[in-house]
Structure 1
Amino acid sequence: MTDRFDIVLRGVRLNHGAGVDFGIRDGRFSAMSSGLGRCDNDIDCDGKLLLPGLHDHHIHLFATAARLQSVDLTQCTHPDAIAAALRAKAAQAGPGEWVRAIGCDERASGIPDRGQIDGWIADRPVRIQDRTGALWMLNSAGLAQLGDGPWPDAVETDPSGVPTGRIWRGDAWLQERIGSRPPSLSALSRELARLGVTAVTDAGANNGPKEAALLGAACRDGDLLQRLTMMGREDLPDSEPYLTGPVKLLYDERDLPDPASIAARIEAARRLGRNVAAHCVTEAELLVYLAVLDMAGGVRPGDRIEHGSMIPQALMQDIARLGLIVVANPGFIARRGDRYLAEMDAGDLPGLQRMASLQASGIPVLIGSDAPYGPVNPWVSIRAAANRQCPSGALLGAEEAIGPWSALQLMTAQGNLAVGAVADCILVDADWVNQLAGDADPDPVAMTIMGRYAHLGPIYSRGR
C-alpha cells in the first residue's frame, strides 16, 4: 500500500481533539482515520494542529518582492540616518544602478524633493517610497532617467513646470518610464509558504494584461506557489492560472475624482460580471464609495471595502445593510499603533481598524496584510486583531479585539479539512495561541502543504 497516498500526516489534531491520520492523494484529502497505510512521505506530526492554509486577502506581490531588494528606511528617524543607509546601498550597487528605498517616514525628513535627495546622493539615480506607498521621491539623476515632459498629473512640478522629484500614485507610469522588470516572486513565495500562506489576493489597482501575463507566468513556472486571485482594472483578462477578482477603485482624499467617473467604472464592472473593491483609508474616501455605489445601481454580493481604516459608528448600519465586506489590516496596529495614539485625535481612535464592532453589526470581515506597507507575517496581523497591542505594549481599541481563533478564521483560505477537499493545509504548534503573547514575531508553522504540489511532498517543513 506504499503507493496509495502521496502524503500521510500521522497523529494530527483538529482543534485539540484526538489524534487522527490524514491521507493525501492527487492534491486532495482522500482518507481520514487511524492507522492508515504507510507511504514514502509518511510524516509523524507529533500531535500538532492541522489547519487550512492561510489566505492573505490584500497584498501587493511585486512591491513586497521588491522590498526584499530595497533599502528599508523604516527605522531611520533622522535625515543623517537616511543618508547613511542610502550611501551604504549605493556602495554595493554597480555604476549607474538605481538605489531603491522604501518606508521613508515624513517625521524623519519631511517630504524630500530632488534637492534634498541630491544632498544625500547625487551621482546615481535614487527613488524613495514613503511609508504609505502613495509617493515616490526622486533625485535629479533619477528624474533625468525619465526623459522630458509633458508630465502627467502624478508628477508634481514647481511654478516653472520643473518636476520637484515627487510623484504621487504614479507607479505604473514610473515603471514604464524606468523600463525595469518586476522582481522575481520566488523568494517571497517561499517565505509566505514558510509562514503558512497558501493563497493570496493581489490588490494592485493597475493590474491589467501585462501584469496578468507576468503573474500568470509566475504561477505556471512555480515562482508563485500560492493560489492567486487578482484584482485590477476592467481590462484584466480571465486566465486559468488565477482567479479574476474585483475591479479595484483607487482614489485619494487629497485629490478626489468626479464621483460620476467612479460610478461609470462600477457600471463597467457590472457589465463584466465583476465585483468592485475600493481603497478606503479615510472617512471621506469611504463616504465617496458609498455614494457612488448608490449612483451605479447598488451593491453586488462580494463588493469590498479595502482597508476600512476609519469607519465611524454612524456608517456601520449602512455598510451592514448593503452587505459590503471589509478587508481590514490590523497588522498596522502592531507596527504603527504608537504613532496613531500619539498623533490622532482621541475622538477618532474608536473608529480605527475596527474588528469586533464590525462583526457584531453583521459586517463580513477578512484580514489582509497590505504588505509591503503592513507586516508580511500573517501571524502578526492575527495577533494584532486578537490583542490590539502596539509596539510599546499599549493597547489601541481593546474593545475591538476578537480573540485568536476568530482572527485566524478571517485569514484562513476557503476550504476545509474534509475528505475530498483540496489539501492546502498547515501544521502548527499546539501552543500557537501562547506564542502570540510573546515579544517576538510569531512563527508557529511547522509544515505547509499545497494540494497541487503534494505529490512532491510538503512545500515547507521546519528543520528540513
Structure 2
Amino acid sequence: MTETARTVLLRGGEIHTPADPFATAMVVTGDSVAWVGSEGAADSFADGVDEVVHLEGALVTPAFTDAHVHTTATGLALTGLDLTDADSLAEALARIRSHAAARPADTVLIGHGWDETRWPEQRPPSRAELDEAAGGRPLYLSRIDVHSAAVSTALTAAVAGLAGLPGHHPALPLAREAHHAVRTAAYNTLGPAQREEAQRASLARAAELGIGSVHECAGPDITGEADFLGLLALAAELPGPRVVGYWGEAVTSAKDAERIRRDLGAHGAAGDLCADGSLGSHTAHLREPYADAAHRGNGYLDAEEIAAHLAACTEAGIQGGFHAIGDAANEAVVAGAALAAQRVGLERLRALRHRVEHAEMLTPAAVEGFARYALTASVQPAFDALWGGGEGMYAERLGGARTAALNPYAALLRAGVPLALGSDAPVTPLDPWGGVRAAAFHRTPEHRVSVRAAFTAHTRGGWRAMGRDDAGVLVPGAPADYAVWTAGELVVQVPDERVANWSTDPRSGTPGLPELTPGSPLPRCLRTVVAGRTVYLAG
C-alpha cells in the first residue's frame, strides 16, 4: 500500500462537520475524507485501517486557510529583525545593532514592524540613525503596514534613479514608487539560502498554528519573480502547508493574463495589485482628506485601468483582483467592475470571483457593488483589533465617524459578499483563532459576526476565494486538510452581547466551537494534516 493510500481512523474526539453535529470519529483514505460519524460506528473500520489516532476528547476541524500572506517577509521577521513589539525608537535602533552583529554574512539586512505612532519619540528613524545602527550596511525596514520603509544610505545607493521617484525623501522613510524600488532591490539581494530559510520558517509556523493553506500575495513591486518562483518550488517539495500564489501585476489582454498563469504558476493576477496604499502611511486613497494630514492619499489605479485588468483576466479565465483600503479606492474597484461587466458580460465576470484585499472603507453602495459583481472580500480582522476603536491609529488618521464605519463584516455577509480571512503577515502575525475572535468581537459592535461565520470564512472561505467549493469542510470526498486541537466546552457564539454564549442545543444541529471571548485562552494545535499527510505534530 502506498503512502497516499493509507487509511487513518480518528476516534474519541469531536469532529467539526456539517454532516453530523455529534460526530466523534473520522476516516481518512489517502488525501481525502472518507467518512465521518459516531464512535460506535467507527468500530466497523477499526480492523481495516493503517493507523488509529485516539483523540482523547480533542477537537478536529478543517485546517485554516490564511488568505493573505507574504511568506518570505513573515519568515524574515520570525528568524530575524522583528520590530513589531519595540516600545521606542531607541529600542528599535538597539535591535538593529544587535541583528547586524549577529548576521555578518547577510548581504542585506531586512526587518519589519516599526510603528512610530506607538513610540514616545513619535517619529520614524532617520537615515543617519539607520546608517549608524546598521554599521553602514544595506538595511530595509518595512513599516508595520508594509506601505513605507525606513532604509539605509547603502541601500538607496544601490537603486539607480531613486531620487526622481514619487515617494522619495532624502532623509525620511520612503513611500509609493520609491518604496517599491528599494523593496525590490532588497529582496533581489537576498541570497538563496537566506530566502529559503525564511520561507521554511514561515510555513513551519503556519503548520504549528493549524494553517493548511496560505495565499501568497506577491508581485513585481513586492518581492519579485525569483522569490515567488522559489517559494512555489519549495512548497511543491514540502508536504504542506499548501501555497496558492497570486501575482499582483496589471494586465490589459488575455494573453498577458495567461502568461502570468503559464510562466509564473500563479493562481491569479490578484493580491497586492495596489489600487491605493495604507492608512498608517497616509497612502490609502480617501474621498475626503485625512484628519491628520491635508491630502487624500494616493490612488494608483483608476476605474478604466481596473476594468481593463478584470476584463483581461476574465477573458483568460483566471482570477483577478486588487488591494484597496480607502473609500475612493474601493469605489474605483466597483466602478471598474461595472465597466468590465459591460465588456465581458456580468455572469462571466461573476464566475471568476475576482477578489479585493483588505476592503476596509466601504460605503453601503460599495458593499452593494461587491455583491453585484461577486467580488470576494479578503479581509484581516486583526487590523481592527490592532488599530481600531476610538483611541487607535485609525481614529488618529480618520476621526471617529469614519473609523466606526471601517471593516463592516456583518454588512458584507448580509449582502451575500463572500469573506475570506487572513493576516497579511507579517503586518499582523499568523494567528487564525485570534483572527476569528477579532471578527466576532470587532471594536464596532454592529460589524461583529458570529464565531461560526468567522471560522467558516477562515476555513472554507479561503478555498472559495480561489474558486474551490469542495474543500475547507470535513465531509466525505473533501480534501483531508484538518487540524486537531485542545478543546474545552464547545459553544455557539453570536455577536449579540445579550446572548453571547450558550451551549450547543442538541436540537439545533449546529456544531459548536471553542469559546473565544476576549481574554480567553486560544485552542492549542496538536496536529496539522494536509492532503492526508501530517505536517505538524506537537511534541
TM range (shorter): 0.7 to 0.9
Say if 2:455 is the partner of 1:408.
Answer: yes
- Of 350-359 and 116-125, deviating more is 116-125
Q: Classify the secondary structure of the residue corresponding to 1:366.
A: strand
Q: Classify the secondary structure of the residue corresponding to 1:447.
A: strand
- How far does residue 37 in structure 1 lie from its aligned partner after superposition? 1.7
Structure 1 residues 239 and 421: alpha-carbon distance in aligned structure 2, compared to 1, 3 A threshold: farther
CA distance in 1 between partners of 2:372 and 2:160 (Å): 50
Letter in structure 2 aligned against 1:359: L
- How far does residue 113 in structure 1 lie from its aligned partner after superposition? 4.3
TM-score in terms of structure 2 length: 0.74
Cα distance per residue 1:68-92 (max 9 Å; x no partner): 1332222334322222121122222
Give the alignment of 1:274-289 within 5 angstroms.
274-289=318-333
Letter in structure 1 aligned against 2:139: V
Give the alignment of 1:5-154 within 5 angstroms.
5-15=6-16, 17-18=21-22, 20-32=24-36, 33-35=41-43, 36-38=45-47, 39-94=49-104, 97-107=107-117, 108=119, 110-144=123-157, 146=158, 148-149=160-161, 153=165
Give the alignment of 1:249-264 within 5 angstroms.
249-252=273-276, 253=285, 254-257=297-300, 259=302, 260-264=304-308
Match of 1:447 in 2: 527
Letter in structure 1 aligned against 2:211: V
Question: Quick check: 2:232–2:245 contact (8 Å CA) kept in 1?
Answer: no
CA distance in 1 between partners of 2:105 and 2:475 (Å): 56
Q: Which has the higher helix share?
A: 2
Question: Quick check: 2:359–2:377 contact (8 Å CA) kept in 1?
Answer: yes
Match of 1:156 in 2: 168
Structure 1 residues 95 and 12: alpha-carbon distance in aligned structure 2, compared to 1, 3 A threshold: closer
- How far does residue 382 in structure 1 lie from its aligned partner after superposition? 0.5
CA distance in 1 between partners of 2:301 and 2:263 (Å): 32
CA distance in 2 between partners of 1:297 and 1:24 (Å): 42
Match of 2:535 in 1: 459
- How far does residue 192 in structure 1 lie from its aligned partner after superposition? 1.1
TM-score in terms of structure 1 length: 0.85
- How far does residue 306 in structure 1 lie from its aligned partner after superposition? 1.0
CA distance in 1 between partners of 2:430 and 2:53 (Å): 28
Structure 1 residues 383 and 79: alpha-carbon distance in aligned structure 2, compared to 1, 3 A threshold: same
Q: Give aligned-pair identity as a percent.
A: 22
Cα distance per residue 1:288-320 (max 9 Å; x no partner): 212222333456220112101111234322322
Q: Classify the secondary structure of the residue corresponding to 1:228.
A: strand
Match of 1:420 in 2: 477
Letter in structure 1 aligned against 2:232: G
Letter in structure 1 aligned against 2:425: A
Unaligned regions of 5+ residues in structure 2, if any? Answer: 250-256, 277-284, 286-296, 464-470, 491-512
Cα distance per residue 1:265-288 (max 9 Å; x no partner): 333323322222111111111122
Q: Classify the secondary structure of the residue corresponding to 2:79.
A: coil
Unaligned regions of 5+ residues in structure 1, if any? Answer: 389-395
Question: Quick check: 1:50–1:428 contact (8 Å CA) kept in 2?
Answer: yes
- How far does residue 179 in structure 1 lie from its aligned partner after superposition? 5.1
Say if 2:260 is the partner of 1:236.
Answer: yes
Structure 1 residues 449 and 54: alpha-carbon distance in aligned structure 2, compared to 1, 3 A threshold: same
Say if 2:237 is the partner of 1:193.
Answer: no
Cα distance per residue 1:104-151 (max 9 Å; x no partner): 11323534442342354443332211111012221123334x164476
Say if 2:240 is the partner of 1:225.
Answer: yes
Letter in structure 1 aligned against 2:307: A
CA distance in 2 between partners of 1:5 and 1:341 (Å): 51
Match of 2:425 in 1: 371
RMSD, matched Cα = 3.0
CA distance in 2 between partners of 1:294 and 1:9 (Å): 48
Give the alignment of 1:332-371 within 5 angstroms.
332-337=383-388, 338-340=391-393, 342-343=395-396, 344-371=398-425
Q: Classify the secondary structure of the residue corresponding to 1:348.
A: helix
